């Protein structure tokens, strides 16, 4: 099956009108039960068909012995049964005309069962099934209320509908990100944990999200690509021309690469090659989960419309580092207008320099810092302010947070905040 077919049929993964849950269970502790419940608790608007030859009903919904016994059509099958039974279920899905499947089950190539995984791929190719997984956590589409993730909603928060899509090779890492964005109130378009990526790989997901109107930003966690490096680079380049892409590459060390092989059956490859590809594609590389979350959150904010940056700090050296960052990213230091310099001259001590970066001096309190911030934001030459705060200084305290919030609410200008906090040791010793 060509890439066009796979991309087209991914629609039935994220926007199915009908879903069969193969392995649906009456046992609340079973994955098949949790997924069934998640579909109902998410208020999925389509039809849900439980499939289990040993049950007559699940959650008061009549159960079917096989997907072939379902009278209506099925767009997507969610499969949560033992690995040895998966391929038989997929053949039945193919005969039924099911266009997509999500295989939660592990126990394939990642555990050395390569032949079973190869057979799975052959079946999907024969019947043109776009398959997510195997060995994955599932899929979420907040807009269409699709939720095949096997973690209960009361344990893993679900984000509201938004513009960020997450593609994660690891279910656990993906789950962490989903939980973080849900708790922080960040909106999500799509989430997919693709596990082994046997049929649909990371490059295919990037291609699909390139066309997805709901997706404005894409976040990718990858241990090792399942396709050629050239295809992966091409997919990243194409996406970045239209939407920002944030990438976290795991398996950088020899220990991590070995762990990746046993986790998702991925050959991690040389990190330097990935690093070069990410840079060449003009994607943004995250180096930790914290980076990944913070970059994602940043892209939910309004974009700055200009490139003239004002830097405000209560520590001169940090202003110099900020100026280097401005230059590195092709931005410019704003030139303060005459009125701005005049106001600052009355606000700051006589030994302060009225230039950009603006150092309000180490004895500044939140009041002086706030007035300087308001003055910079009022300058039409300043498109955005990089606010760097050192809390180690005697006069500076947490009241500056309220000052920044008020300034942000009172202006159309953008404020980017960087805080420098004392180490625990210095805090303890005073």
Q: How far apart are CA 231 and CA 228, in angstroms?
A: 5
Residues 425 and 333 in one domain: yes
Residue 168 is predicted with a pLDDT of 95
Query: In this structure, what CATH number is given to the domain that contains residue 425?
Result: 3.40.50.261
Residues 312 and 292 in one domain: no
Query: In this structure, what CATH number is given to the domain that contains residue 102?
Result: 3.40.50.720
Residues 326 and 378 in one domain: yes
Residues 253 and 153 in one domain: yes
Q: Is residue 336 part of a domain?
A: yes
Ordered mean pLDDT values, 10 residues apiece, the chain (430 residues):
72 98 96 96 96 95 98 97 98 98 96 96 97 96 95 88 95 89 92 95 96 96 88 96 95 52 50 91 93 87 84 87 90 95 92 89 81 90 88 69 73 60 34
Q: Is residue 303 part of a domain?
A: no
Residues 294 and 367 in one domain: no
Residues 234 and 357 in one domain: no
Residues 188 and 84 in one domain: yes
Whole-structure pTM over 0.85, yes or no? no
Out of 278, 298, 318, pick the residue that ends a domain. 298
| Residues paired with residue 333 on neighbouring β-strands, in sequence order | 309
Count of domains for the chain: 2
Residue 162: which domain range?
A: 3-298
Residues 372 and 393 in one domain: yes
**Alpha carbon of 281 to those of 63, 80, 233, 290: distances in Å?**
48, 37, 7, 22
CA–chain centroid gap for 345, Å, is 45
Q: Is residue 100 part of a domain?
A: yes
Residues 133 and 203 in one domain: yes
Quickly tell me which residue has 């053949």 as its tokens: 91
Nearest to residue 188, comparing CAs of 196, 197, 180? 180
Nearest to residue 205, comparing CAs of 162, 173, 168? 168
Q: Is residue 145 part of a domain?
A: yes
Cis peptide before 134 (omega within 30 of 0): yes
Reduce the secondary structure of the chain to three states and give it as a string: CCHHHHHHHCHHHHCCCEEEEECCCCCCCCHHHHHHHHHHHCCCCCEEEEECCCCCEECCEECECCHHHCCCCCCEEEECCCHHHHHHHHHHHHHHCCCEEEECCCCCHHHCCHHHHHHHHHHHHHHCCEEECCCCCEEEECCCCEECCCCCCCCCCCCCEEEEEEEECCHHHHHHHHHHHHHCCCCEEEEEECCCCCCCCHHHHHHHHHHCCCCCEEEEEECCCCCCHHHHHHHHHHHHCCCCEEEEECCCCHHHHHHHHHHHCCCCCCHHHHHHHHHHCCCEEECCHHHHHHHHHHCCCCCCCCCEEEEEECCHHHHHHHHHHHHHCCCEECCCCHHHHHHHHHHCCCCCCCCCCEECCCCCCHHHHHHHHHHHHHCCCCCEEEEEEECCCCCCCCHHHHHHHHHHHCCCCEEEEEEECCCHHHHHHC
Out of 241, 263, 298, pick the residue that ends a domain. 298
Out of 298, 318, 343, pick the residue that ends a domain. 298
Could you tell me whether strands 130-132 and 138-141 are parallel, antiparallel, or unpaired per DSSP bridges? Answer: unpaired
Residues 266 and 397 in one domain: no
| Residues paired with residue 309 on neighbouring β-strands, in sequence order | 333, 384
Q: Is residue 200 part of a domain?
A: yes
Residues 43 and 94 in one domain: yes
Residues 125 and 213 in one domain: yes
Q: Is residue 364 part of a domain?
A: yes
Both tokens of 134, joined, read 């195997």
């Amino acid at each position: 099956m060509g890439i066009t077919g796979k991309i087209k049929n991914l629609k039935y993964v994220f926007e199915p009108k009908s879903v069969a849950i193969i392995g649906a269970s009456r046992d609340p502790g079973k994955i098949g039960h949790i997924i069934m419940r998640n579909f109902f608790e998410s208020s999925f608007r389509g039809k849900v068909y439980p499939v289990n030859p040993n049950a007559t009903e699940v959650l008061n919904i009549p159960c079917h012995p096989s997907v072939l016994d379902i009278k209506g059509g099925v767009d997507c099958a969610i499969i949560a049964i033992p690995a040895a039974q998966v391929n038989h279920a997929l053949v039945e899905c193919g005969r039924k005309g099911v266009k997509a499947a999500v295989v939660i089950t592990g126990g394939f190539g990642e555990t050395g069962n390569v032949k079973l995984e190869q057979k799975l791929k052959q079946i999907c190719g024969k019947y043109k099934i776009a398959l997510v997984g195997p060995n994955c956590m599932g899929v979420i589409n907040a807009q269409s209320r699709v939720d095949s993730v096997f973690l209960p909603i009361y344990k893993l928060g679900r984000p509201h509908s938004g513009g960020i899509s997450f593609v994660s090779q690891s279910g656990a890492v993906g789950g962490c990100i989903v939980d973080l964005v849900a708790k922080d109130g960040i909106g999500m378009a799509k989430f997919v944990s693709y596990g082994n990526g046997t049929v649909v790989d990371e490059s295919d997901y990037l291609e699909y999200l390139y066309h997805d109107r709901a997706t404005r930003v894409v976040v990718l966690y990858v241990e090792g690509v399942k396709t050629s490096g050239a295809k992966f680079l091409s997919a990243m380049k194409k996406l970045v021309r239209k939407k920002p892409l944030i990438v976290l590459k795991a398996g950088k060390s020899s220990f991590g690469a070995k762990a990746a092989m046993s986790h998702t059956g991925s050959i991690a490859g040389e990190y330097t090659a990935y690093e070069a590809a990410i840079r060449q594609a003009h994607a943004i590389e995250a180096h930790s989960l914290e980076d990944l979350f913070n970059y994602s959150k940043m892209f939910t904010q309004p974009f700055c419309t200009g490139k003239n940056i004002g830097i405000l700090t209560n520590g001169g050296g940090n202003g110099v580092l900020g100026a280097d960052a401005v230059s590195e990213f092709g931005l410019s230091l704003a030139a303060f207008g005459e009125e701005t310099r005049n106001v600052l001259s009355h606000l700051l001590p006589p030994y302060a320099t009225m230039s950009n970066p603006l150092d309000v001096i180490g004895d500044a309190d939140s009041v002086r810092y706030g007035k300087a911030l308001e003055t910079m934001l009022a300058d039409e030459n300043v498109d955005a302010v990089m606010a760097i705060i050192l809390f180690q200084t005697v006069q500076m305290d947490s009241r500056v947070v309220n000052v920044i919030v008020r300034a942000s609410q009172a202006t159309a200008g953008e404020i980017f905040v960087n805080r420098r906090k004392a180490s625990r040791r210095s805090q303890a010793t005073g």
